[in-house]
Structure 1
Amino acid sequence: MKMHFLSGGRLRMRKSVYFPSAEKGETFELPVICTLLKHEQGNVLFDTGCSPDAAENGEERWGGMVKVMNPIFRPEDAVTGQLDKAGLTPDDIDVVICSHLHADHCGCNAHFRKATIIAHAAEVAAATAENGPAMGYLPVEWDQPQGFDAFEGQRDLFGDGRIILLPVPGHTPGMTSALVTLDEAGEFLIASDAIAVEANLTEGYAPKNSWDLEKANIAIEELRKIGERGAQIIFGHDDAQWNRLRKGADFYA
């Protein structure tokens, strides 16, 4: 199995959301990460990042959300413009895994019409609830014709231990991380927003934009233990780590 990290866009946000000591008006840039897994049973994309339409007109696509999460990328920097670096097109993707259904993580779902879309049942319930839009779930991004293959508990995607989905509620009700095992590079824990930046792990606190801070902190500790056993943790939006990772055509095996 090969693993490619691909750009899913880029955002500007208030730094204090992730770093409590930051000045009130301070902002910072953060990457959106998509993970492509070329498994012998199919091509899997963990998170689809931001829609290219958000790059062209963020306010039209996301409405008032751009005040707290401002897209600052080119359309070609969405994952739909990056897949060709790994030799694929959207129609080559067999499975899309949604870590959660916020707009910066499922924004390109509409481009993967041939894929099965997987998300935790609690996340689907949160997105489809009456107050879903107020909680950051935008139907234009998550509501796709093929619906969801919803799951509960842990899920071994192909039954071989290579891609195991781990429910870690806290950032959202159905937040999901993935434990990926490669032959040469070993284990990677794709944390997504369960651990958005390294400081959440090293300093032991959940970001302010968590649905449930207590559960989010429990999730961080659960994932910390997996990291302590040897898995390399890939944070959801850590720019310093993003700059160190192999990306695009370069891969881990």
Structure 2
Amino acid sequence: MLGKIGLLVLAFVVGAVWLVVLRLKDVPLLPLVAYGLLLLGLVAGLLWPGVFGRRVTRRRVLTFVGGPVGLGTLGLYLAVVYYVTDLPVLVALAAAVCLVEGVAVLLRGRRGAGGSGGRHTRRAFLAGGAGLVLGVLSGLSVGHVERQRRELSARREQERQAATRAPSSRRRIVDDAVRVFPIHTGDTIVTYGQFYGGLDGWEGLNGYVRTLVDKAQIAVPVYAYLIDHPRHGLMLVDTGVNWEQAHDHDGYYDMTSRLLTQRDEYRMTPGQDLRVQLARLGYDAKEITTVFLTHVHDDHAGGLRYLPQATVVMDRRDWEYGVLYPHSFDLVKDNLSFPAFDSGALGAFPGSQDHFGDGSLVLLPTPGHSPGHMCVLLRLDAGSVLFMGDTLYTLPHLATGQVRQMTIGGPDTVHQIEAARRIQHLLASDPGTVPLFAHDNTRYQSDLVASAFAQGVLGEAGLRELRTHMEAVLTPDWRLRPGHAPRFVPPASGTGSGRVEFR
């Protein structure tokens, strides 16, 4: 009895995880409940078949409950997870099932008596033949899938080349100035509460559960930043998402990753491809020598696929304990560099890393959003810029007592708020420093940052304009001024992504 109860608990946990995944994939609630009840009935019927009646056997439970459950599972998988690259695997599994069934039937026939042996032999022959046919089809389907993938890749490359030749392209500027170019690598679709609801219960496990049921979604930008340094070469802070993540999502991620991500989580136009934007600025992705990765999340690491030659500088804790998708790191996993943060304190930060040893670029540990999140401080001629990563999403998020993104909870939330306060101290103590965000969906990023860095050089006028806007949004004690509190506006059609107003 204890063993059966243990199996029931295990099945309940596995089933609950599967149902949560299906809900994440937007399966309607009513069929999900019906499917969940069937799963529960199947497990209970197999463990205690008598609950359905004295004459009910496990074989009948498998036939009358297991059959619908199997078909439902297959249908849900095909609807929300299946991708063409799975075809050879699925056909091969079906072939294996047929061959095993054939062997099992043949063995039962040999143990049987009377005239049943011939019947079992015929059934075994049919099952084995079906298995062989499916095995051949599995092999043939591999070539079909590969051709389809090559055709898709060729179309993507044509679109990229056409976007690269756009009239907006320009020649690279070569001088002694340190240049910074914001690169908008598309948008990600997130839940409004995930982005702005950290003070309204979106924290820890409760926050993640709410992302499953709350479908108030918004599109927010994903930025990487190119640094052209006269002494240290070409560098990137983060890499944004890549073309495959946005347009071939299911092909980019493996089956497990597909279960945990949304097919439409990224949007990107051909002109937003990282390689296209670098080319339009007069650069080549192959020239990038260093990537400073604020953290390992895939909307910051996807572009690493285009930079196999680059050294990737990141906190070791993020590599060892962060949530990463290996495919984004496949080509650079041997090029990782982990800072020791042993260059001494910097303002309110107890540790820092002077990466080049000349004070031009300093790494600051800001854990919380991920175990090893870090920010990057770059010195310019007119001042400094602080690349925020995801410590804070937008300028209004600097008002940590009024606006907060979803946090992991527990000590991680404490660490993230501590990091935010250290950033507040840094910005307050140095009026020549301005923040640059990875996901800012406000006018600060779309208008002012875009204008100030249009030529890559932050002049005194641009610095003054950014700081003036900061002071118009935030008080000296880091409170929002009137007119800058975010509010969700649902889509007019009732479906799709909403937008954010600031009042």
**CA deviation digits over 1:202-243, x for unaligned, max 9?**
243542144721111111111111111222111221111321
* Structure 1 counterpart of 2:186, from 9, 19, 23: 9
Per the alignment, residue 108 of structure 2 pairs with: none
Pairwise CA distance, 1:83: 0.6
**CA deviation digits over 1:100-135, x for unaligned, max 9?**
1110001011211221111111111124xxxxxxx3
Larger deviation, residues 233-242 vs 143-152: 143-152
**CA deviation digits over 1:64-86, x for unaligned, max 9?**
44439810112441322211132
* Structure 1 counterpart of 2:396, from 199, 202, 206: 199
Per the alignment, residue 295 of structure 2 pairs with: 100
Per the alignment, residue 237 of structure 1 pairs with: 439
Task: Report the number of matched residues.
Answer: 244
Per the alignment, residue 190 of structure 1 pairs with: 387
Query: Quick check: 1:57 aligned with 2:221?
Result: no
Per the alignment, residue 215 of structure 1 pairs with: 415
Per the alignment, residue 328 of structure 2 pairs with: 141
CA contact (8 A) 2:250 2:263 kept: no
Structure 1 210/86 Cα, relative in aligned 2: closer, same or farther at 3 Å?
farther
Query: Quick check: 1:157 aligned with 2:355?
Result: yes
* Separation of aligned partners in 1, 2:407 and 2:248: 24
* Separation of aligned partners in 2, 1:147 and 1:209: 30
Across the aligned residues of Structure 1 and Structure 2, the Cα RMSD in angstroms comes to 2.3
Secondary structure at 1:178 match in 2: strand
Pairwise CA distance, 1:28: 1.0
Any gaps of 5 or more consecutive residues in structure 2? 1-177, 203-209, 342-351, 459-503
Per the alignment, residue 175 of structure 1 pairs with: 373
Secondary structure at 2:235 match in 1: strand
Q: Aligned letter for 1:242?
A: Q
Structure 1 69/235 Cα, relative in aligned 2: closer, same or farther at 3 Å?
farther
Per the alignment, residue 126 of structure 2 pairs with: none
CA contact (8 A) 1:162 1:180 kept: yes
* Separation of aligned partners in 1, 2:367 and 2:315: 10
Query: Quick check: 1:85 aligned with 2:272?
Result: no
* Structure 1 counterpart of 2:238, from 33, 47, 50: 47
Which structure shows the bigger proportion of residues in helix conformation? Answer: 2
Larger deviation, residues 52-61 vs 114-123: 52-61
Pairwise CA distance, 1:165: 0.9
Larger deviation, residues 32-41 vs 69-78: 69-78
Per the alignment, residue 28 of structure 1 pairs with: 218
Pairwise CA distance, 1:249: 5.8
CA contact (8 A) 1:13 1:28 kept: yes
* Separation of aligned partners in 2, 1:7 and 1:118: 21
Pairwise CA distance, 1:252: 2.3
Secondary structure at 1:169 match in 2: coil
* Separation of aligned partners in 2, 1:224 and 1:196: 14
Structure with the greater alpha carbon radius of gyration: 2
Q: Aligned letter for 2:299?
A: D
Which structure shows the bigger proportion of residues in strand conformation? Answer: 1
Q: Percent identity?
A: 22
Secondary structure at 1:179 match in 2: strand
* Separation of aligned partners in 2, 1:178 and 1:25: 33
Secondary structure at 1:239 match in 2: coil
* Separation of aligned partners in 1, 2:280 and 2:260: 30
Larger deviation, residues 85-94 vs 209-218: 209-218
Higher RCO (CA-CA < 8 Å; seq separation 6+) = 1
Structure 1 46/55 Cα, relative in aligned 2: closer, same or farther at 3 Å?
same
Larger deviation, residues 155-164 vs 102-111: 155-164
Pairwise CA distance, 1:46: 0.6
CA contact (8 A) 1:99 1:175 kept: yes
**CA deviation digits over 1:46-78, x for unaligned, max 9?**
101101101212233342444398101124413
Structure 1 169/112 Cα, relative in aligned 2: closer, same or farther at 3 Å?
same
Structure 1 249/81 Cα, relative in aligned 2: closer, same or farther at 3 Å?
farther
